[in-house]
Amino acid sequence: MAVQVDGEVVAMRRVGAYHHMSFTAPGIPEQTRPGHFVALSVGGPTSSTLLRRAFSVHRVNERGLYGGTVDIIFAAHGVGTTWMASLERGAALNIVGPLGKPFALPREPVGCVLVGGGYGAAPLAMLAEQLRARGCRVDIILGAATVDRLFGVLDARRSASSVTVTTDDGSSGIAGRVTDVLPNLLERTGADVVYACGPMGMLSAISAVCEPLGVHTQCAVEESMACGVGVCMTCVLPVIGDDGVTRMLRSCVDGPVFRGERVRWSDVGTMPPDVLGAPQAVTP
Amino acid sequence: MSADMNAAVDPVEVNLATRLGSLALHGPVLTASGCAASGKELSQFFDLRLLGAVVTKSIMVQPRSGRPTPRMAETPSGMLNSIGLQGPGIEAFIAKDLAWLVEHGVRSIVSIAGTNTSDYARLARRLSSEPGVAALEVNISCPNVESRGEVFACDPRAAAAVVAAVRAETARDIPVIVKLSPDVTDIVEIAGRVIEAGADGLALINTLLGMVIDTTTLRPALAGITGGLSGPAIRPVAVRAVYQVHAAFPDTPILGMGGIRTGEDALQFIAAGASAVSVGTAIFNDASAPARVHRELREALAARGYRSLAEVVGIAHVTSVGRDDALAAPVPPAQEVVVTAAPAAVDDSDIGALIDEVRAAPEVPANDSETTREVHL
Ligand SMILES: Cc1cc2nc3c(=O)[nH]c(=O)nc-3n(C[C@H](O)[C@H](O)[C@H](O)COP(=O)(O)OP(=O)(O)OC[C@H]3O[C@@H](n4cnc5c(N)ncnc54)[C@H](O)[C@@H]3O)c2cc1C
Ligand SMILES: Cc1cc2nc3c(=O)[nH]c(=O)nc-3n(C[C@H](O)[C@H](O)[C@H](O)COP(=O)(O)O)c2cc1C
Ligand code: FES
């Protein structure tokens, strides 16, 4: 059950193009599983920026020096994240979490490939550790546009059997996209499951690689959100249900993790006529 | 009461009970339609039974997918939304959402929406036979397919037709609250027409139509191109609408909303003439905002020495026209109050205060004389 709590920044540091923030969030760490996210209010209590910002949980520490803490990795992007980047140790925060449906973990010790794009690598460290604890083989691919936007390479090396890095410009690892190296890795490791977090285009491409191979995918999507708790209906995308019917599901409560083959990636941002309740073309 | 305005009372002593027509509510704070879904998600943050009621997301006859994304753009002290009334349709709503609310003892006001008059009538009839519907809120800010998509709320005739049809199909003991759009030239006129057509109460206001251009793409930020503006940015517009409509129709209960974020914000609406308030966009900032606003409103009343919410409803009209709102009678010009209108309901100790108040009252501003005139309509 999500809680809304006051917390305090306990550490801030730069990691390449990103900011790594740790804050206290009583009641959240013990409930958080990999793939969960938290929603932060930005700009202080009288801020004119009302909407919360969503961030994947990178790590939690249930019993740290300051009590339970949560770590996130974020890019300073618009007003909210720029404000967050200006915070110093001791700054007050208001946090809601843990939110969303986390990654589903396999019951059997199967092979898993984890793919992170940019800050999408943030939730993978915790995931890798939990998969390893279940006896799963873990291989990790990390991709980004440039080397400063790669995140989690060192962490990955500690917990994975192999780590492959790609950058669009070749500034680190292999020049190219994560999907350039994924098929090969799947073949080599015989992995049954791919876990992915990153930009929508990356998730879509990963699903396209995995589906024909019968590899199960767990994709954490990033849709624009207003409430983060399921009450506003802004964060929807077309997802095919068990009954074969496509519905506009809320990524904040029905996701952010979806089975890749269930998301109609190429229809995101449109309203296909076969979605439940979609407006029908009027026959002349 | 108003005599000890300055002496604060203990917040627990403040009676927050209120009414929307025949509906008695133990608290004046509700959720705004579309900002609380059907309550369930918010129940993890606070006890919904504290609220006067949960107003559910507007429901239509059939399931509805809504508009494509992006559906939202943040704006200064607010946001634009173009959700397009996504929802499961009335049958699934009754079976799942309403059932959940009933099971959890949460009072529910069901918001209905349609694209033609018969849809509204059908929804009203269907809901009338369901237990657990405390009132209907009729969202008429929808395009009327029978009138080339003109919004019902902007067309007095179409609005009145919907309200008459809904009132006729709704069980007598269920109040029909009609939600108006501020995007009209004269909200008082529309209010009059829907009251005439049988509205038991009014909900004021729905969102204002707005637009944001994404300066990276130089295209509209929303897939729906335009969207509804909500949040504190629209609060003065909403308070104005409540004030004008209450001045014109003091006997029609008003559910006020638009940018309420704190108890003091809610107090503005109550003073302007709302009997209850809904909290909407503020929930996205603070999921427990309705419970907090309830508490803060209690504290705000107590700090000002009021023992009940009822005595503050419409009180903002008192200084401008010199009356105590406890008087249901039409308002005579300011100075006459002292002489002729010392009401039976006010005890002696209050008359002195009333006289002082009238003496202290500033000159009636010019535009308020219009308001006074409307009271006599
Ligand atoms: C489940 C989830 C997990 C996320 N995890 C991370 C993370 O680990 N690290 C990170 O840097 N970012 C993450 N994001 C994206 C992050 O939420 C946005 O970058 C952030 O909201 C932008 O806020 P802003 O004030 O800088 O931008 P603005 O453009 O000013 O934001 C305006 C509004 O749009 C929303 N918005 C804008 N961009 C996005 C976006 N990309 N996704 C969702 N909402 C958006 C904001 O929440 C806000 O309501 C995540 C998003 C989601 C949905
Ligand atoms: C995301 C969102 C969805 C809404 N959906 C509805 C709706 O379905 N029916 C309705 O009558 N009003 C709807 N509204 C309008 C609100 O109920 C309310 O009238 C308006 O937002 C002003 O109040 P606020 O500023 O407190 O949000 C919606 C508002 C928002 C922000
Ligand atoms: S962000 Fe509000 S429903 Fe998902």
Q: How do residues A255-284 score in pLDDT, each as one tens digit?
A: 999 999 999 999 999 999 999 999 876 555
- Please compute, for residue B94, the number of CA atoms within 13 A of its CA located in the half-sphere on the CB side: 17
Residue B96 has pLDDT above 80, yes or no: yes
CA of A123 vs chain B CAs: smallest distance (Å): 24
- pLDDT band at residue B24, thresholds of 50, 70 and 90? very high
Q: How do residues B140-185 score in pLDDT, each as one tens digit?
A: 998 878 877 889 999 999 999 999 999 999 999 999 999 999 999 9
Say if the Cβ atoms of B285 and A41 lie within 8 Å.
yes
Q: Which domains does chain B have, with CATH numbers?
A: 2-359 (3.20.20.70)
Nearest ligand 2 atom to the CA of B238 is 22
Alpha helices in chain A (DSSP H): 79-85, 124-133, 153-159, 178-189, 200-213
The strands making up A137-144's β-sheet, listed across from edge to edge, are A174-175, A162-167, A137-144, A111-117, A193-197, A216-220, A257-259
The bound ligand whose nearest atom lies closest to the alpha carbon of B109 is 2
**CA B350 to the chain's CA centroid:** 30
Residue A272's closest chain B neighbor by CA? B68
Nearest ligand 2 atom to the CA of B113 is 9
CA dist., res. A56 & res. B201, Å (int): 44
CA of A94 vs chain B CAs: smallest distance (Å): 9
CA dist., res. B205 & res. A206, Å (int): 46
CA dist., res. B23 & res. B228, Å (int): 29
Q: What class does CATH assign to A111-223?
A: alpha beta
Please choose from B67, B180, B207, B235 the residue to mutate so as to test ligand 2's pocket, defined by most ligand atoms within 8 A of CB: B207
Q: A227: which chain B residues are within 8 Å (Cβ-Cβ)?
A: 283-284, 287
Say if the Cβ atoms of B71 and A234 lie within 8 Å.
yes
A172 Ramachandran zone, left/alpha/beta (phi>0; psi -120 to 50): beta
Nearest ligand 1 atom to the CA of A51 is 49
- A208 class by beta-carbon count within 10 Å (0-12 exposed, 13-18 middle, 19+ buried): middle
Q: Catalytic site residues of B?
A: 142
Question: What's the A193 CA to ligand 3 centre distance in angstroms?
Answer: 28
Mean pLDDT of B30-45: 97
Residue A236 has pLDDT above 90, yes or no: yes
And the tokens for A86? 């200006």
Mean pLDDT of A114-121: 97
Residue B326 has pLDDT above 90, yes or no: no
Residue B335 has pLDDT above 50, yes or no: no
Beta carbons of B97 and B48 less than 8 angstroms apart: no
Residues touching ligand 2 (Cβ under 6 Å) are: A 232; B 32-35, 57-58, 81, 83, 85, 111, 139, 179, 206-207, 228, 230-231, 234, 257-260, 279-282
Question: What's the B39 CA to ligand 3 centre distance in angstroms?
Answer: 13
Say if the Cβ atoms of B70 and A269 lie within 8 Å.
yes
Please provide residue B244's backbone torsions phi and psi, each rounded to the nearest 5 degrees: -65, -45
DSSP state of A101: B
Q: How do residues B267-295 score in pLDDT, each as one tens digit?
A: 999 999 999 999 999 999 999 999 999 99
CA dist., res. A208 & res. A275, Å (int): 21
Q: What is the CATH number of domain A3-99?
A: 2.40.30.10
- pLDDT band at residue B3, thresholds of 50, 70 and 90? very low
The bound ligand whose nearest atom lies closest to the alpha carbon of B233 is 2
- B11 class by beta-carbon count within 10 Å (0-12 exposed, 13-18 middle, 19+ buried): middle
CA dist., res. B247 & res. B275, Å (int): 13
| Residue B222 or residue B342, greater confidence | B222
CA dist., res. A207 & res. B154, Å (int): 47
Residue whose structure tokens are 């396999």 = A106
Q: What is the mean pLDDT of chain B?
A: 86
Residue B340 has pLDDT above 60, yes or no: no
- pLDDT for B360: 38
- pLDDT for A283: 55
The bound ligand whose nearest atom lies closest to the alpha carbon of A229 is 3
Q: Which residue has the CA at smallest separation from atom 30 of ligand 1?
A: A78
Looking at the DSSP assignment, which residues form a beta bridge with residue A81? none
Residue B362 has pLDDT above 70, yes or no: no
Sign of the alpha-carbon dihedral angle for B140, B144, B150, B156: negative
CA dist., res. B311 & res. B286, Å (int): 29
CA dihedral B205, B20, B23, B63 (to 10 degrees): -10
Give chain A's length.
284
Touching check for A251 and chain B: CB below 8 Å?
no
Radius of gyration of chain B (CA): 21
Beta strands B201-204; B254-257: pairing state: parallel
Q: Which residue has the CA at smallest separation from atom 20 of ligand 1?
A: A53
And the tokens for B24? 């008695």
- pLDDT for A120: 96
Say if the Cβ atoms of B57 and A227 lie within 8 Å.
no
Question: Which residue in the set B67, B74, B287 is minimally distant from A271, CB to CB?
Answer: B67
Q: Which residue has the CA at smallest separation from atom 23 of ligand 2?
A: B258
pTM of the model: 0.90
Q: B34: which chain A residues are within 8 Å (Cβ-Cβ)?
A: 232-233
Helix (H) or strand (E) holding B151: strand B150-151
Question: What's the A77 CA to ligand 1 centre distance in angstroms?
Answer: 8
- pLDDT for B364: 37
Q: Where are the domains of chain A?
A: 3-99, 111-223
Residue B131 has pLDDT above 50, yes or no: yes
